[in-house]
Amino acid sequence: MIVNGETRLCGLIGNPVSHTLSPFIHNTLSKRMTINTVYVPFQVEKNELSQAVAGAHALNVLGMNVTVPYKTDVIPYLDAIDPMAKGIGAVNTLVRTQNGYKGYNTDMTGLCRAMQTEGIRLNGEEIIILGAGGAARSVAYMCLYYKVSKIYLLNRTIEKAQNIADELNKEFQREAIIPMHLAEFDKIPTKKYLVIQGTSIGLHPDSEACVIEDPSFYQLAHTGYDLIYRPFKTRFMKLVEEAGGVSFNGLGMLLFQAIDAYELWNHLEISDEVAMETYELLKAETKKA
Protein backbone atom coordinates (compact mmCIF):
# COMPACT_ATOMS: atom_id res chain seq x y z
CA MET A 1 0.00 0.00 0.00
CA ILE A 2 1.48 3.35 -1.10
CA VAL A 3 0.10 6.52 0.50
CA ASN A 4 0.43 9.61 -1.67
CA GLY A 5 -1.28 12.90 -2.46
CA GLU A 6 -4.28 11.15 -4.02
CA THR A 7 -4.95 8.69 -1.16
CA ARG A 8 -8.46 8.98 0.30
CA LEU A 9 -9.05 8.34 3.99
CA CYS A 10 -11.74 6.15 5.54
CA GLY A 11 -12.02 5.15 9.16
CA LEU A 12 -13.86 3.93 12.20
CA ILE A 13 -15.35 6.03 15.02
CA GLY A 14 -15.88 4.28 18.34
CA ASN A 15 -14.62 3.78 21.86
CA PRO A 16 -12.78 1.49 22.28
CA VAL A 17 -11.46 0.64 18.81
CA SER A 18 -8.15 -1.12 19.47
CA HIS A 19 -9.72 -4.58 18.98
CA THR A 20 -11.30 -3.86 15.61
CA LEU A 21 -10.76 -6.01 12.51
CA SER A 22 -12.23 -3.36 10.21
CA PRO A 23 -8.84 -1.94 9.08
CA PHE A 24 -7.77 -5.45 8.09
CA ILE A 25 -10.89 -5.95 5.98
CA HIS A 26 -10.96 -2.55 4.28
CA ASN A 27 -7.25 -2.32 3.57
CA THR A 28 -7.34 -5.87 2.19
CA LEU A 29 -10.18 -4.86 -0.14
CA SER A 30 -8.31 -1.75 -1.29
CA LYS A 31 -5.19 -3.78 -2.02
CA ARG A 32 -7.20 -6.41 -3.92
CA MET A 33 -9.18 -3.79 -5.88
CA THR A 34 -6.13 -1.49 -6.38
CA ILE A 35 -8.09 1.47 -4.99
CA ASN A 36 -6.10 4.25 -3.35
CA THR A 37 -7.78 4.42 0.05
CA VAL A 38 -6.48 3.78 3.55
CA TYR A 39 -8.62 2.86 6.57
CA VAL A 40 -7.72 3.68 10.17
CA PRO A 41 -9.50 3.54 13.57
CA PHE A 42 -10.30 6.70 15.54
CA GLN A 43 -11.04 6.51 19.25
CA VAL A 44 -13.48 9.32 19.98
CA GLU A 45 -14.52 10.51 23.42
CA LYS A 46 -18.27 10.85 23.97
CA ASN A 47 -18.29 14.63 24.35
CA GLU A 48 -16.36 15.00 21.08
CA LEU A 49 -18.59 12.98 18.74
CA SER A 50 -20.13 15.98 16.97
CA GLN A 51 -16.70 17.53 16.44
CA ALA A 52 -15.38 14.22 15.12
CA VAL A 53 -18.11 13.98 12.46
CA ALA A 54 -17.78 17.63 11.44
CA GLY A 55 -13.99 17.39 11.44
CA ALA A 56 -14.01 14.26 9.27
CA HIS A 57 -16.12 16.08 6.69
CA ALA A 58 -13.87 19.16 6.84
CA LEU A 59 -10.86 16.91 6.27
CA ASN A 60 -12.49 15.36 3.18
CA VAL A 61 -12.73 11.90 4.75
CA LEU A 62 -14.42 9.68 2.17
CA GLY A 63 -16.43 7.58 4.61
CA MET A 64 -16.63 6.38 8.17
CA ASN A 65 -17.86 3.37 10.07
CA VAL A 66 -19.39 3.82 13.51
CA THR A 67 -19.20 1.26 16.28
CA VAL A 68 -20.20 1.12 19.94
CA PRO A 69 -21.21 3.22 21.73
CA TYR A 70 -22.13 5.71 18.98
CA LYS A 71 -24.42 3.92 16.51
CA THR A 72 -27.45 5.82 17.80
CA ASP A 73 -25.72 8.89 19.22
CA VAL A 74 -24.27 9.81 15.83
CA ILE A 75 -27.66 10.24 14.12
CA PRO A 76 -28.31 13.90 15.10
CA TYR A 77 -25.02 14.91 13.45
CA LEU A 78 -25.88 13.48 10.01
CA ASP A 79 -27.12 15.33 6.95
CA ALA A 80 -29.43 12.44 5.95
CA ILE A 81 -30.28 8.88 6.94
CA ASP A 82 -31.25 5.84 4.90
CA PRO A 83 -34.83 4.58 5.59
CA MET A 84 -33.69 1.17 6.91
CA ALA A 85 -31.18 2.77 9.27
CA LYS A 86 -33.87 5.18 10.45
CA GLY A 87 -36.25 2.31 11.17
CA ILE A 88 -33.58 0.33 13.00
CA GLY A 89 -32.54 3.42 14.91
CA ALA A 90 -28.84 2.74 14.46
CA VAL A 91 -26.16 3.74 11.95
CA ASN A 92 -22.81 2.06 11.35
CA THR A 93 -21.76 3.58 8.02
CA LEU A 94 -21.37 7.24 7.03
CA VAL A 95 -21.22 8.11 3.33
CA ARG A 96 -19.88 11.52 2.38
CA THR A 97 -22.25 13.97 0.70
CA GLN A 98 -21.75 17.63 -0.21
CA ASN A 99 -23.23 18.94 3.05
CA GLY A 100 -22.30 16.21 5.51
CA TYR A 101 -22.66 12.45 5.87
CA LYS A 102 -25.59 10.16 5.10
CA GLY A 103 -26.08 7.31 7.56
CA TYR A 104 -26.67 3.67 6.63
CA ASN A 105 -26.97 0.43 8.57
CA THR A 106 -24.79 -2.05 6.71
CA ASP A 107 -24.73 -4.33 9.76
CA MET A 108 -28.16 -5.55 8.75
CA THR A 109 -27.75 -5.47 4.97
CA GLY A 110 -24.46 -7.28 5.57
CA LEU A 111 -26.16 -9.91 7.71
CA CYS A 112 -28.76 -10.49 5.02
CA ARG A 113 -26.06 -10.74 2.36
CA ALA A 114 -24.03 -13.16 4.48
CA MET A 115 -27.10 -15.35 4.92
CA GLN A 116 -27.78 -15.31 1.19
CA THR A 117 -24.27 -16.60 0.46
CA GLU A 118 -25.05 -19.56 2.73
CA GLY A 119 -28.35 -20.27 1.00
CA ILE A 120 -30.45 -19.00 3.91
CA ARG A 121 -33.74 -17.42 2.87
CA LEU A 122 -35.89 -14.98 4.81
CA ASN A 123 -38.87 -14.20 2.57
CA GLY A 124 -41.87 -16.10 3.88
CA GLU A 125 -39.95 -17.95 6.59
CA GLU A 126 -40.76 -18.37 10.28
CA ILE A 127 -37.75 -17.74 12.50
CA ILE A 128 -36.69 -17.66 16.14
CA ILE A 129 -34.58 -14.82 17.59
CA LEU A 130 -32.87 -15.17 20.96
CA GLY A 131 -32.52 -11.90 22.87
CA ALA A 132 -34.25 -8.53 23.02
CA GLY A 133 -31.36 -6.07 23.18
CA GLY A 134 -30.28 -3.62 20.51
CA ALA A 135 -28.76 -6.26 18.23
CA ALA A 136 -31.82 -8.53 18.44
CA ARG A 137 -34.14 -5.60 17.72
CA SER A 138 -32.08 -4.69 14.66
CA VAL A 139 -32.21 -8.28 13.44
CA ALA A 140 -35.97 -8.41 13.98
CA TYR A 141 -36.41 -5.20 11.98
CA MET A 142 -34.21 -6.51 9.18
CA CYS A 143 -36.10 -9.80 9.04
CA LEU A 144 -39.46 -8.04 8.81
CA TYR A 145 -38.03 -5.67 6.17
CA TYR A 146 -37.09 -8.72 4.10
CA LYS A 147 -40.53 -10.20 4.65
CA VAL A 148 -40.22 -13.09 7.09
CA SER A 149 -43.70 -14.29 7.94
CA LYS A 150 -43.30 -14.76 11.71
CA ILE A 151 -40.74 -14.20 14.46
CA TYR A 152 -40.71 -15.91 17.84
CA LEU A 153 -38.75 -13.44 19.99
CA LEU A 154 -37.41 -15.16 23.11
CA ASN A 155 -35.85 -13.29 26.02
CA ARG A 156 -35.22 -13.69 29.75
CA THR A 157 -37.21 -10.51 30.38
CA ILE A 158 -40.54 -10.84 28.61
CA GLU A 159 -41.23 -7.10 28.92
CA LYS A 160 -38.29 -6.24 26.65
CA ALA A 161 -39.45 -8.71 24.02
CA GLN A 162 -43.00 -7.37 24.33
CA ASN A 163 -41.82 -3.79 23.79
CA ILE A 164 -39.99 -4.75 20.59
CA ALA A 165 -43.00 -6.73 19.38
CA ASP A 166 -45.39 -3.86 20.03
CA GLU A 167 -43.14 -1.35 18.30
CA LEU A 168 -42.26 -3.37 15.21
CA ASN A 169 -45.67 -4.98 14.72
CA LYS A 170 -47.06 -1.45 14.60
CA GLU A 171 -44.26 -0.27 12.30
CA PHE A 172 -44.87 -3.07 9.78
CA GLN A 173 -48.65 -3.13 10.33
CA ARG A 174 -48.90 -6.86 10.98
CA GLU A 175 -48.76 -9.12 14.03
CA ALA A 176 -45.55 -10.83 12.97
CA ILE A 177 -43.54 -10.89 16.22
CA ILE A 178 -44.60 -13.17 19.07
CA PRO A 179 -42.77 -12.30 22.31
CA MET A 180 -41.99 -15.20 24.65
CA HIS A 181 -39.96 -15.97 27.74
CA LEU A 182 -36.94 -18.19 27.08
CA ALA A 183 -38.45 -20.93 29.25
CA GLU A 184 -41.54 -21.05 27.01
CA PHE A 185 -39.75 -22.38 23.92
CA ASP A 186 -41.68 -25.63 24.22
CA LYS A 187 -44.81 -23.68 23.19
CA ILE A 188 -43.35 -22.97 19.75
CA PRO A 189 -44.98 -25.22 17.12
CA THR A 190 -42.80 -28.28 16.44
CA LYS A 191 -41.13 -27.75 13.08
CA LYS A 192 -37.75 -26.55 11.81
CA TYR A 193 -36.68 -22.90 12.00
CA LEU A 194 -33.81 -20.55 11.35
CA VAL A 195 -32.64 -19.58 14.85
CA ILE A 196 -30.63 -16.37 15.27
CA GLN A 197 -28.61 -15.92 18.47
CA GLY A 198 -28.70 -12.17 19.10
CA THR A 199 -27.20 -11.82 22.59
CA SER A 200 -23.60 -11.41 23.81
CA ILE A 201 -23.83 -14.66 25.79
CA GLY A 202 -21.06 -16.99 24.66
CA LEU A 203 -18.72 -14.16 23.70
CA HIS A 204 -15.03 -14.75 24.44
CA PRO A 205 -13.79 -15.34 27.11
CA ASP A 206 -17.07 -16.83 28.43
CA SER A 207 -17.08 -19.20 25.49
CA GLU A 208 -19.04 -22.09 27.02
CA ALA A 209 -22.05 -20.01 28.05
CA CYS A 210 -25.29 -20.34 26.12
CA VAL A 211 -28.69 -18.63 26.25
CA ILE A 212 -30.56 -21.95 26.25
CA GLU A 213 -28.79 -25.10 27.43
CA ASP A 214 -31.69 -27.54 27.00
CA PRO A 215 -30.81 -29.79 24.02
CA SER A 216 -34.49 -30.22 23.16
CA PHE A 217 -34.68 -26.58 22.05
CA TYR A 218 -32.16 -27.22 19.30
CA GLN A 219 -34.40 -29.83 17.72
CA LEU A 220 -36.30 -26.79 16.40
CA ALA A 221 -33.32 -25.51 14.41
CA HIS A 222 -32.55 -26.44 10.83
CA THR A 223 -30.01 -23.58 10.91
CA GLY A 224 -28.42 -21.66 13.76
CA TYR A 225 -26.88 -18.26 13.12
CA ASP A 226 -24.83 -16.73 15.94
CA LEU A 227 -23.93 -13.04 15.61
CA ILE A 228 -20.79 -13.75 17.68
CA TYR A 229 -17.60 -14.65 15.77
CA ARG A 230 -15.20 -15.01 18.73
CA PRO A 231 -14.99 -17.88 19.52
CA PHE A 232 -15.22 -19.14 15.96
CA LYS A 233 -17.58 -21.93 17.07
CA THR A 234 -19.78 -20.99 20.00
CA ARG A 235 -21.58 -23.30 22.40
CA PHE A 236 -24.84 -22.31 20.67
CA MET A 237 -23.44 -23.46 17.33
CA LYS A 238 -22.24 -26.75 18.79
CA LEU A 239 -25.68 -27.50 20.25
CA VAL A 240 -27.34 -26.75 16.88
CA GLU A 241 -24.98 -29.16 15.14
CA GLU A 242 -25.42 -31.86 17.80
CA ALA A 243 -29.16 -31.71 17.10
CA GLY A 244 -28.57 -32.24 13.39
CA GLY A 245 -28.71 -28.63 12.19
CA VAL A 246 -26.13 -26.48 10.43
CA SER A 247 -24.58 -23.43 12.06
CA PHE A 248 -22.82 -20.21 11.15
CA ASN A 249 -21.09 -17.52 13.15
CA GLY A 250 -21.07 -13.74 12.72
CA LEU A 251 -17.85 -13.51 10.70
CA GLY A 252 -19.77 -13.40 7.43
CA MET A 253 -21.85 -10.52 8.80
CA LEU A 254 -18.65 -8.70 9.81
CA LEU A 255 -17.25 -9.15 6.31
CA PHE A 256 -20.33 -8.14 4.37
CA GLN A 257 -21.18 -5.10 6.49
CA ALA A 258 -17.69 -3.89 5.58
CA ILE A 259 -18.15 -4.80 1.91
CA ASP A 260 -21.49 -2.98 1.77
CA ALA A 261 -19.85 0.11 3.26
CA TYR A 262 -16.88 -0.16 0.89
CA GLU A 263 -19.21 -0.38 -2.10
CA LEU A 264 -21.16 2.70 -0.96
CA TRP A 265 -18.00 4.76 -0.51
CA ASN A 266 -16.39 3.74 -3.79
CA HIS A 267 -19.47 3.30 -6.04
CA LEU A 268 -18.59 -0.22 -7.15
CA GLU A 269 -19.48 -3.86 -6.58
CA ILE A 270 -17.22 -6.41 -4.92
CA SER A 271 -17.33 -9.75 -6.74
CA ASP A 272 -18.14 -13.00 -4.98
CA GLU A 273 -14.58 -14.13 -5.72
CA VAL A 274 -13.01 -11.15 -3.95
CA ALA A 275 -15.49 -11.45 -1.07
CA MET A 276 -14.60 -15.10 -0.48
CA GLU A 277 -10.86 -14.46 -0.78
CA THR A 278 -11.20 -11.73 1.83
CA TYR A 279 -13.30 -13.99 4.05
CA GLU A 280 -10.58 -16.66 4.13
CA LEU A 281 -7.94 -14.08 5.02
CA LEU A 282 -10.24 -12.64 7.70
CA LYS A 283 -10.90 -16.09 9.16
CA ALA A 284 -7.17 -16.72 9.45
CA GLU A 285 -6.67 -13.32 11.07
CA THR A 286 -9.47 -13.94 13.55
CA LYS A 287 -8.00 -17.23 14.65
CA LYS A 288 -4.70 -15.53 15.54
CA ALA A 289 -6.42 -13.68 18.39
Cα-flanking dihedrals φ and ψ of residue 12, to 5°? -125, 130
Q: Which of 31, 71, 192, 238 is catalytic?
A: 71
Cα→Cα distances 184→132, 181, 225, Å: 15, 5, 20
Side-chain-side CA neighbours of 178 within 13 Å: the count stands at 14
- Report the alpha-carbon distance of residue 160 to residue 156 in Å, rounded: 9
- Report the alpha-carbon distance of residue 13 to residue 82 in Å, rounded: 19
Q: What is the DSSP letter of 5?
A: T
Question: At a CB cut-off of 8 Å and minimum separation 6, what does 5 contact?
Answer: none
- Report the alpha-carbon distance of residue 186 to residue 189 in Å, rounded: 8
Helices and strands, counts by H and E, the chain? 9, 12
Question: At a CB cut-off of 8 Å and minimum separation 6, what does 106 contact?
Answer: 92, 93, 256, 257, 258, 260, 261, 264
- Report the alpha-carbon distance of residue 118 to residue 248 in Å, rounded: 9
Task: Determine the distance from the C-alpha atom of residue 122 to the mean position of all C-alpha atoms in its chain, rounded to a whole number.
Answer: 16
Which of 252-287 are b and which e, b meaning 16 or more Cβ less than 10 Å from the residue's Cβ? bbbbbbbbbbbebbbeeebeeeebeebbeebeeebe
Q: What angle do CA 151, 152, 155 make, to 5 degrees?
A: 130
**Is 71 noted as a catalytic residue in this protein?**
yes
Q: Cite the active site residues.
A: 71
